[in-house]
Amino acid sequence: MFRKKQAKQQPDGVTKQLMDIVGKENVLYLKSDLISYECDGYTMERGMPRARSYS
């Protein structure tokens, strides 16, 4: 019913470097944005990526 207020995630050093290379608008780093990249169809092994870039 009520959503907990979440602290805003900050990008780590590697993610910041990636943002410098491809531009901040082309990088996803929030957990809520990356959840769909956690699994590629093989559900036995899952892993959340640190970031996802588009260029």
> pLDDT for 8-47, tens place per residue?
789 999 999 999 999 999 999 999 999 888 887 777 888 8
Number of domains in the chain: 1
Instruction: Print the domain residue range for 31.
Output: 13-39+47-53
The three-point CA angle 27-29-25 to 5° equals 25
Question: What is the structure's pLDDT at 3?
Answer: 63
The pTM of this model reads 0.72
- Please check whether residue 7 lies inside any domain of the structure: no
Long-range contacts of 25-33 (CB under 8 A, 24+ apart): 26/53, 26/54, 26/55, 27/51, 27/52, 27/53, 27/54, 28/52, 28/53, 28/54
- Please check whether residue 19 lies inside any domain of the structure: yes
- Please check whether residue 8 lies inside any domain of the structure: no
Element (H, E) at 32: helix 31-34
